[in-house]
Chain A
């Protein structure tokens, strides 16, 4: 079979995209059916046969760039064509190669010798951004990477640092400010101003993407697809570790959360509606039986009223685990119609109820954003104190916890060597239906340092490792 395709699919699987055997076969068949000379057609065909989820496209795109980069396109094509046993292969190959080298006028000069002075490059940069010409941007990318990136062969990196260095040397920020001033004419209306600004920012993003692509292509030349794929491989948003996400990943997570919670809500609502069959409704059955001469052929049932649990969320929102708490609160409130009541509490070393923030807000994200500003959670020094917080909860709210309540405690149980007060959890379990502890740390870190999960664990129904959105969604889904 096609080796390259096999490797490529291996990479997709490694990145978390499920590609089945039959999809592999489809992709191979597609490759036979289409004109292999066109890179965009090959890309679209592979995407259509291998990726079945819009959210997976960024991962696919990265992998495609690495395995079928513009530069290695010729050789990739030859390999693919060679396998196809096509009598016309040779002639097509020639055409394809010509087409591939024709589409990038920058190829020749992208090498080592700079044909441009720094001033010419700066001018070209300005011009490309003002006019938005992709060809110019490519030239800028090729030129600036050879000049500024300072790439060292053989280093096992993904290229982020090279990108940073190139952009810094191009002084992209001051170029941006200057162009912004140019773009806004005297007396322009706010709308025109805004449009010009948006357009400029978009072009700069486009330029950055071109530079990144250029760097990646050179890295592929240097180290080969397989090695590079490993360095640039990024997990899917739902598999990102929430505790260790950087800013960009955090933004990805935020974006993934909304559709996730919406889908979860739809799924649960459907599940609930399907669970019909309450007890037999005698009155309605008899009424129905009139049309069959008094014989009750068609049994009617009362609508079910499944027990909706009451949820108490107690979340640690101190630095390290704050984002995890926010996601969980968002998700739980997004599906709050599945519960008879949701009450939320947040703590650091003091505890505050934040249920009111979620009332009357149709987007939980807004309420979650307000928690940090409005909740009163610091009693002493602002270091998490689980013992104190749980004790406060117990004193003030334990009377509300009944046999219909489920208590969720969120946090890493890093107690800063304060007292644990585990007996409080024991009493809560006694009162509530279930007590669950969600810990965003990997299991191997539990009970190391000041983590005292073990002291609480015996009194919880389950202690669950919950590091990614996928795990979180699964758990919340099981709750209702």
Chain B
């Protein structure tokens, strides 16, 4: 039994004339390509993204806020030179916002325009065929990603915000790369797009959705990786300062805080210290700028006490 390559099989199902070539040669090549676009990945991120491309499957990226889940999709889009199509999820998102909608104003105009002067109405069957044509379809992000002919990366952001029932809208796209429109038939993808879903894990996603995706957990980075991220994203910072920042943030994350500092907050802090012209972090600087990293008063107090060994002064 010789199993068909997953990409081949999908291309056959979609009726593509040729199998789209894989985007990345190896996880290492992928890492380099991402690094060129200022995204420093780790082993797991590179491997899973590579695998998603090879198997033509969507990736579900989960992890705490601000660890670079959305940035990953952007960096991949940049690295392969594809257009990023983004669907931001929210409570109450529905078909007409995510998939497609009939442009009924235009349909109405068409009906009125087709009514010849004085001679009664146009033949109904002609009209019906006419007004349910692609011309009258407003494509929303999901349909747009499927029907695009240029290379695209689809990002479905914060999928955990939609209701469980709305998730079902995505299932056809995620497994078959197609959208069924009752009046029009099935729109199949003209290529194999890369699909990223991100989730902040505020609720359990359905089994059906998880099953169709590869799973990638992006946690807080190691000290070394965070240092490199700071170095690549904050211009004019010294290696020692970057290292020190990474270590302070790492220690902060070990404390039992309400909200641990995210990578983006780390970068903000690094930029602040650079603007202040610091070469290293003194206790005073740390105490004075902790509010950039931590967003709760109780967290700031605890961090001041634990890290600096004293209660926060009146300031």
Contact indicator A194/B307 (Cβ below 8 Å): yes
**A-contact bits for B255-292, CB 8 A (1 contact / 0 none):** 00010000000000000000000000111001000000
Tally the A-B contacts, defined by beta carbons under 8 Å.
106
- Tell me which residues across on chain A come within 8 A of B86, comparing CB atoms: none
**Once bound together, how far apart are the Cα atoms of A191 and B286, in whole Å?**
9
Sorting the interface of chain A by its residue count into under 10, 10 to 19, 20 to 34 or 35 or more gives 35 or more
Give the contacts of B153-204 with A (CB-CB under 8 A). Answer: 163, 201-204
Give the contacts of B73-94 with A (CB-CB under 8 A). Answer: 91
Contact indicator A41/B47 (Cβ below 8 Å): yes
Q: Does B251 contact A (CB under 8 A)?
A: yes
Q: Does A259 contact B (CB under 8 A)?
A: yes
Give the contacts of B135-153 with A (CB-CB under 8 A). Answer: none
Q: Does A195 contact B (CB under 8 A)?
A: yes
Contact indicator B254/A44 (Cβ below 8 Å): no
Contact indicator A32/B3 (Cβ below 8 Å): yes
> Which one of A51-59, A91-99, A119-127, A433-441 is at the B interface?
A51-59
Q: Does A379 contact B (CB under 8 A)?
A: no
- Tell me which residues across on chain B come within 8 A of A193, comparing CB atoms: 309
The residue from A29, A40, A49, A262 contacting B43, defined by CB atoms under 8 A apart: A40
Q: Does A252 contact B (CB under 8 A)?
A: no
Across the two chains, which residue of chain B brings its CB closest to A50? Answer: B215
Contact indicator B248/A52 (Cβ below 8 Å): no
Contact indicator B203/A45 (Cβ below 8 Å): no
Q: Does A35 contact B (CB under 8 A)?
A: yes
The residue from B43, B163, B286 contacting A44, defined by CB atoms under 8 A apart: B43
Contact indicator A33/B6 (Cβ below 8 Å): yes
Q: Does B13 contact A (CB under 8 A)?
A: no
Across the two chains, which residue of chain A brings its CB closest to B63? Answer: A54
Q: What's the least CB distance linking B37 to chain A, in Å?
A: 21
Contact indicator B217/A26 (Cβ below 8 Å): no
Contact indicator A191/B248 (Cβ below 8 Å): yes
Q: Does B225 contact A (CB under 8 A)?
A: no
Q: Does B60 contact A (CB under 8 A)?
A: yes
Give the contacts of B28-86 with A (CB-CB under 8 A). Answer: 43-44, 47-48, 50-52, 54-55, 57, 59-60, 62-63
Q: What's the least CB distance linking B158 to chain A, in Å?
A: 13
> Which one of A176-184, A212-220, A263-271 is at the B interface?
A263-271
The residue from A40, A48, A189 contacting B51, defined by CB atoms under 8 A apart: A48
Contact indicator A54/B62 (Cβ below 8 Å): yes
**Once bound together, how far apart are the Cα atoms of A189 and B308, in whole Å?**
8
Contact indicator B254/A48 (Cβ below 8 Å): no
Contact indicator B203/A267 (Cβ below 8 Å): yes
**Once bound together, how far apart are the Cα atoms of A54 and B215, in whole Å?**
9
**Once bound together, how far apart are the Cα atoms of A262 and B160, in whole Å?**
13
Q: Does B26 contact A (CB under 8 A)?
A: yes
**Once bound together, how far apart are the Cα atoms of A262 and B64, in whole Å?**
14
Q: What's the least CB distance linking B196 to chain A, in Å?
A: 13
Contact indicator B215/A33 (Cβ below 8 Å): no
- Tell me which residues across on chain A come within 8 A of B283, comparing CB atoms: 189-191
- Tell me which residues across on chain A come within 8 A of B51, comparing CB atoms: 30, 33-34, 44-45, 48-49
Q: Does B27 contact A (CB under 8 A)?
A: yes
Contact indicator B48/A48 (Cβ below 8 Å): yes
Q: Does B105 contact A (CB under 8 A)?
A: no
Q: Does A474 contact B (CB under 8 A)?
A: no
Q: List 14 A-B contacts (CB under 8 A).
A: A20-B207, A33-B6, A45-B47, A45-B48, A48-B51, A54-B62, A54-B63, A190-B310, A191-B307, A193-B309, A194-B306, A195-B251, A199-B247, A263-B203
Q: In the complex, given contacts A29-B55, A41-B47, A48-B215, what are 14 additional A-B residue pairs having Cβ atoms less than 8 angstroms apart?
A: A20-B211, A33-B5, A34-B51, A41-B27, A48-B59, A48-B216, A49-B51, A52-B60, A52-B215, A57-B217, A190-B309, A191-B281, A194-B306, A267-B203
Q: Which residues of A contact B (CB under 8 A)?
A: 18, 20, 22-23, 26, 29-30, 32-35, 40-41, 44-45, 47-49, 51-54, 57, 189-191, 193-195, 198-199, 259, 262-263, 266-267, 270, 274, 363
